[in-house]
Amino acid sequence: MATFFEGESHTFSEYLLVPGYSSTQNVPQNVTLRAPLVRYARGEQSAITLNIPMVSAIMQSVSGPRLAVALAQQGGISFIYGSQTPEDEADMVREVKASKAGFVVSVANLTPNMTLAEVMDLKEKSGYSTMPVTDDGTSHGKLLGIVTSRDWRPSRDPLDKLVADFMTPRERLVVARDEVTLSECNDIIWEHKLNALPIVDDNNHLVSIVFRKDYDSHKSNPLELLDEHKRYLVGAGINTRDFAQRVPLLVDAGADVLCIDSSEGYSEWQKITIDWIREHYGNDVKVGAGNVVDGEGFRYLADCGAEFVKVGIGGGSICITREQKGIGRGQASALIDVCAERDRYFEETGIYVPVCSDGGIVYDYHMTIALAMGADFLMLGRYFARFDESPTRRLNVNGNYVKEYWGEGSARARNWQRYDLGGKKGLTFVEGVDSYVPYAGSLKDGVEGSLNKVRHTMCNCGALDLDELREKAKITLVSATSLVEGGAHDVILKDSTESNFR
């Protein structure tokens, strides 16, 4: 006979937090949102710690290089989508790692005999307006000069004009030797009123560039997530089909953590993938797994060696897995079950495997609910798709600005590897939709606003960090009538421009 779970399957909207005692120390500026990203042993610390408990979903319409940089600046991490060629995904990872806060290896380089038309094309493709000129056009060739957007005007200069005729030559450049520190570079930048400072070796070969904007960015983003070389941290999605080809390229590109992207993770395919990575890289390559919706699935992946486990099937705003296949579970119920198993696993083995809640977040308060229920961090798709930095187009539809947003299981993405169960390759039916989401401006403003609410709610619960929130949180199930009572009711509302999606 089938196994029946007791009670109903619940979502985040069916719960509320009950305030606890808060002292005079419980003020938002005292709250830390640091969270472990990968497994660790009792008495140790996670090898990667997030400064905010937010990661972006492994989706074409969400996690590109621009969003990855923007999220890392706020203290979270993006997982570059894997539904593209391994080479293209590795290039995206490489682009993020080159956009570090500090010494940047140039990825947009010129030669003296290139034309203005080629410069404009490279600027359009790369997004960079400052481009070094080297003898061989590589990142570490002999530095001959530099070109910025101030050196040419397409309305006046002919498109066949050579770089050699409008670049700033090497003898007029202020440069620094490669033994210089970042602090010394910033002093040079300010002293000479520079926007960019090339770093060269003793043979005048380009090593890197330090940008004024990176210094300014670091000062305005104190939580930014950086590696030991002051580069932004970035993750990447993989699948259970071509991992042997994809993983080496992503590791070589500098990916800090990988995650198996699958709609259902309680599978031998995930074990095979993790085993291959462990055989070839040991524990040096961090890889998360999922998705699961109960404790049994969590324990299986934890035993397989997953660095973290993602929870959630069918709860995403663009996901129709539940109505297509009748499989899944309410996100709150799934998260409660999995987090309880994580704690048991920690008590039994001394190994803590972080839990990622993936899906089901509609309102900002759902984030706090999920964290209070035990999630170490949250994976968000729709939330990040709304911002300027997501890869999709911003459109005006019926007088409202929106961003495109589609699921990996939609006919548009056709990411069959995510839904692969072996056998014939291909997407036999869709498990996602193609849609729009309300445009929400910049990621920085959106994330700061959302996490400000989280911090305030944590103070109401008497908690100053996420461990304390889980320990002190008091959570109540609410009725349908209570949900109505919780919003504006029995009044006539004045016109408001405030978004319902904040």
Q: Which residues of 275-307 are buried (b: 16+ CB within 10 A; e: fewer)?
A: eebeeeeeeebbbbbbbbbbbebbbbbbebbbb
Active site residue 304: no
What is the Cα–Cα distance from 406 to 390, expressed in whole angstroms? 12
Report whether 368 contacts 17 (CB < 8 A): yes
In this structure, the number of other CB atoms found within 10 A of the CB of residue 345 comes to 19
Tracing tokens 């620094």 back to the chain, one arrives at: 176
What is the Cα–Cα distance from 403 to 377, expressed in whole angstroms? 25
Tracing tokens 């048991």 back to the chain, one arrives at: 344
**What's the residue count for the chain?**
502
3-state secondary structure of 413: coil
What is the Cα–Cα distance from 368 to 469, expressed in whole angstroms? 9
Active site residue 418: yes
What is the Cα–Cα distance from 502 to 492, expressed in whole angstroms? 22
User: Which of 66, 231, 418, 455 is an active site residue?
Assistant: 418
Closest residue by Cα to residue 380 from 363, 398, 397:
363
User: Which of 185, 304, 319, 356 is an active site residue?
Assistant: 319
What is the Cα–Cα distance from 281 to 488, expressed in whole angstroms? 55
Residue 47 identity (one-letter amino acid): A
Q: Which positions are annotated as active-site residues?
A: 319, 418
